[in-house]
Structure 1
Amino acid sequence: MSSRRPSSTTRTSRDDEPNAITDQGELVREEDDAEAAKHEHRPFSHGWRDPAIAGARAAYMKAIAGGTLLTIVAILAILSIYWGAFWKLDDHLHNLHVVVADLDGGSIGQFVTQGLTSSNFTGSPKQLTFDVANRGQFASTQDVERYVLNEHVWAAVVVESGASQRLTAAATDASYNGSLALTVIIETARNENAVPVYIQPYLESSLRTLGAAFALQRARQLSGSDASAILGTAPQALTAPLGYTVRDLRPFDVPVAAAVDFVGLIYLLIISFLLTLLNYNARAASRLDTLLNLRSLILIRLIVPFAMYFAVSWFYSFISLAFQVPFSRWYGDGGFLIYWSMSFIAMCALGLAVEALVTILTPRFVPYFLILWIISNVSVAFYPLELLPGLFKYGHASPFYNVELAVRSLLFGTKSFLGLNFGVMVAWVAVSCVTIPLFSVLIRTRDRRAARRRIEEEKLER
């Protein structure tokens, strides 16, 4: 019996040997993992290919690849908006209307009216649309000017009263000036890009062609003796009987205004974006996002941006004043206050939209919205909406477009839409004042649920 005990003891130890080896192996692996972890977190000591930072390297490459792909998608989807706004502008030239006002009623008036409304000058998408004024619609050139200033049309061609009679009497009038027969009325400040690039050149080219045709027709109608007499007394009545004079009612005569009504708007949006990030990072650094109750958080998210925009918009507006932008030219001393008010409400409209979306997108992805926000506004602020595809009609509700209209009215005296412009901005602010609390509630609810899950997991681990 005593001889069996050693064998039993030996057998038992052999049975336990695999477990001992397993436990020892796990202990070794745990020590290796601990050492690797310790090595991995050692700062400033790793090469790019070091296996100890494989996890960090993989996370970095994943972030870079994902961000690059998202940027490519943003380029294709968002920048296409801007490119599309400038694509085939000529194909929409027919959306720009020009009124033809015949105050003469004679041969010149009939010739010009019939000529401009013929297929040679109008009727196709790449031609201006000429609308003939009804007889008696305008009593004078001043009436036509008011019609243009009220922006019923983009320009006007006026056949001046008595033009045909003056030409008939030109055989004995050496002072005859054919350029007084027609008046081209434009308003460059309404859009300094479209009027001098598309409207004015087209009108002048058309009228030069008509003038040459009229001179040839008249020369053929005159007998040799009459032609000789006119050449002797008033040669211009034969060589250039039909000309024109350009009258720019609202010239774009403040070059620095380009920084106020276009480029400056981009800066205004960028400043609003910076203030939004400042507000976000200040809340995160102070941990107010987690310390405040929901009501207090929503209040500071609404009140603090308004306070920042109020202060910053003053200094933004003072830059234009310092460079002598003439705000008092049409609205007196109140012009600058109107401009500051528009800058302030525009900053609120632009910035609060970012303030709302940073809640959902976080600072990591909100720059992509900034790109969309800039491009969608800039695309409708350079050329008239009539020249852009129908998709861009949204421009009537865009902040940039409305600020631009307000600035043009303040600086150049174009038609005022200030009530509408401010109304659009207030609407944007109102939408943001609804979405900011809504998104705050959604994120706070999500965070509370996540916190409860962490507490429950900690309890289960214990």
Structure 2
Amino acid sequence: MFVKVYIALFTIYLAFLGIYWGSWYQRSTRLVNLHMLIVNEDTQVGSVPPLVGDALWNTTLIPNVAPLAGWRYMSSTEISASAAEHKNTVQQEISRLVHHQKYWAAIWIKPNASYDIYTAMQTLNGSFSAANSLIECVYETGRDLLGMNSYVIPSLLLLEKVFVDSVSSTIYPQLLSLVSQDAKSQLFSNSTLATNVIMTKPSFLYLDNRPVIASAAIGPGELGLIYTLVLSFHQYNFGLRITEAIRPKLKAKHFMYYRVLASQSAFFFIALVYGLMTLAYQVPLDRAFGNSGFLVYWAIIYLNLSALGAINECVSQLIMAYDRTLAGYWMVFHVVISISVTFSPIPLCPAFYRYGYAMPLRCTYELLKVVLFDTYKGNMWKYFVINVSWIILFNAIMPFSLKLACKIAIVQQKKAAEQAKKLAEEKQRRLDAKKHE
């Protein structure tokens, strides 16, 4: 019996943890699912070809760079048309595409980048520097802190390194061949000019449009969500004695009203405390909605607790009726299936984890990023609908789960009574046997 219990325990927990570990399986092979945009406005001017733009795009085709992201190309004509449609400048349009989460990042090769380098060589412009002036890289850390720091930015840095390393052998020699002999002689005879114009490479200027300003925001925005999941379970668990005391005094319909009212009231005030604690630690909640940010934050946490609580209550009713020792397993399982898809970029996970798009904790995480980091608001309605749907669905299921729990409890009580009767009969037999001896 002892061995069986521990084998079962090991098997169950290994299966649960396998779900979490599986979300990390071979992520590097799915980096192509993270789409990144390259906008090339480097066009030919006179006899100067667009070497910078062509070289950067060709770099993304190199075998060790191509799998780092799903590289997408947009020409000067395409980005200009898109910008005109939305009444933006090209720079604003690139920022809009990233902010609206069409791409994880965008690299903008500015107009006439190659010609600007050529002009600096030809005119001996020592004040010109290709570093951080010709290519911009736009991204938003607030969209996914883990995803950006672990996957997106490292991919961009490697692309930049390979590109910059190739400049000396591809771009500059061709541009120098177009420069007059007199300018070339003066350029090489002046070490300061040579350093500024030739030795300085066109490195990227990185622009984080939604930085994670307050590190304290990581607490309520990430780990704090796990606590809400645990609290939503223990809200039912802590009130179990009160529930059992009240149940015999109320009709079934009235008892259901009581359960919904009691749980929603608890979630309402727990969410308020959660929000006040967030303010107490000076986490800014006004980046996206101004002074209304706290109310939006409170509503998001309340809906999260309500959705998770409804799920936990329906399942807990069945567990408590069947075998209370299973409550711990359910808690671990619920945490694992939630966090496996909440704090991971789902495009990098195996296809199985697409279920995460419908999980209440994941939706809450996306909503909180809007409040905390002012990320794209266009998908908020979808996340609210998903969480409200969970609340409605499981509150509708609750009467049926309660009836089923009652039936299970009756069956379990009968089994316990039969077991007790058998034990009593066995004990009596032993006593009778001793008397006869």
TM-score range, shorter chain: 0.7 to 0.9
The alignment status of 1:340 with 2:284, answered yes or no, reads: no
Matching residue's letter, 2:147: A
> What does the per-residue CA deviation read over 1:129-186, in whole Å, with 9 as the maximum and x for residues that have no partner?
2110144222312211111111001011110112122111112211111121111111
| Equivalent position of 1:441 in the other structure | 403
Contact residue 35 and residue 72 of structure 2 kept, 8 A: yes
Deviation at 1:68, TM superposition (A): 3.5
> Is this contact kept in 2: 1:250–1:413, CA < 8 A?
yes
- The farther-off stretch of 296-305 and 420-429 is 296-305
Which residue of structure 1 lines up, in the alignment, with residue 344 of structure 2? 383
Within a 5 Å distance, the mapping from 1:90-101 to structure 2 comes to 90-101=28-39
Query: What is the 5 A alignment of 1:28-427?
Result: 67-105=5-43, 106-122=50-66, 124=67, 127-139=68-80, 140-171=90-121, 172-179=124-131, 180-221=133-174, 222=176, 226-231=183-188, 232=190, 233-284=193-244, 286=245, 288-362=246-320, 363-416=324-377, 417-427=379-389
- Flag the structure with larger Rg: 1
Instruction: Call closer, same or farther: CA 1:449–1:115 in 2, change over 3 Å.
Output: closer
Shift of 1:431: 1.7
| One-letter identity of the residue aligned with 2:78 | Q
Q: Is the 8 A contact 1:353 1:432 kept in 2?
A: yes
Aligned mates of 1:66, 1:272 — CA distance in 2: 32
Superposed displacement of residue 229, structure 1: 2.6
Cα gap change, 1:301 to 1:111, in 2 (>3 Å) = same
What letter is aligned with 1:407? L
Secondary structure at the counterpart of residue 177 of structure 1: coil
What TM-score does the superposition give when structure 1 sets the normalisation length?
Answer: 0.79
Shift of 1:438: 0.4
Moved more, 136-145 or 229-238: 229-238
* Identical amino acids, percent of aligned pairs: 22
AA at the equivalent of 1:230: L
The offset of 1:93, in angstroms, is 1.0
The Cα of 1:219 is off from its aligned counterpart by: 4.6
Q: Secondary structure at the match of 1:256?
A: helix
Indicate how the Cα distance of structure 1 residues 117 and 145 shifts in structure 2: closer, same or farther if over 3 A, else same.
farther
Q: Which residue of 2 is the match for residue 31 of structure 1?
A: none
**Distance between the aligned counterparts of 2:213 and 2:115, measured in 1?**
36
Deviates more, 1:398-407 or 1:108-117: 108-117
**Comparing 298-307 and 259-268, the one that deviates more:** 298-307
Structure number with greater CO (CA < 8 Å, separation at least 6) is 2
Using the alignment, how far apart are the partners of 2:100 and 2:172 within structure 1? 40
- Tell whether the 8 Å contact from 1:294 to 1:444 is kept in structure 2 after alignment: no
How far residue 228 of structure 1 moved from its aligned partner, in angstroms, is 4.0
Q: Which amino acid aligns with 1:360?
A: L
Aligned AA (1:103): E
Alignment deviations for residues 28-51 of structure 1 (CA, whole Å, 9 cap, x no partner)? xxxxxxxxxxxxxxxxxxxxxxxx
Q: Which moved more, 1:245-254 or 1:197-206?
A: 197-206
CA distance in 1, matches of 2:163, 2:207: 19
| Aligned-residue offset at 1:320 | 0.4
The letter of the residue matching 1:295 is K
Distance 1:168 1:313, change over 3 A: same
3-state SS of 1:297 partner: helix
Aligned length in residues: 388
Residue by residue, what CA displacement relative to the aligned partner does 1:255-278 show, whole Å, maximum 9, x if unpaired?
111111210011111111111102
CA distance in 1, matches of 2:185, 2:92: 38
- Quick check: 1:99–1:130 contact (8 Å CA) kept in 2? yes
TM-score between both structures, scaled by the size of structure 2: 0.83
Separation of aligned partners in 2, 1:103 and 1:84 = 41
CA RMSD, 1 decimal: 2.4
- SS in structure 2 at match of 1:245: strand
Cα shift readout 1:239-288 (whole Å, capped 9, x = no counterpart) = 2342221111111122111111210011111111111102222223x2x3
Partners of 1:450 and 1:196 in 2: CA distance? 52
Answer yes or no: is the 8 Å Cα contact 2:318–2:408 preserved in 1: no
Greater mean alpha carbon deviation, residues 107-116 or residues 334-343: 107-116
Distance 1:301-1:71 versus aligned 2 partners, 3 A rule = farther
Give the whole-Å Cα distance in 2 for the aligned partners of 1:398 and 1:86. 18
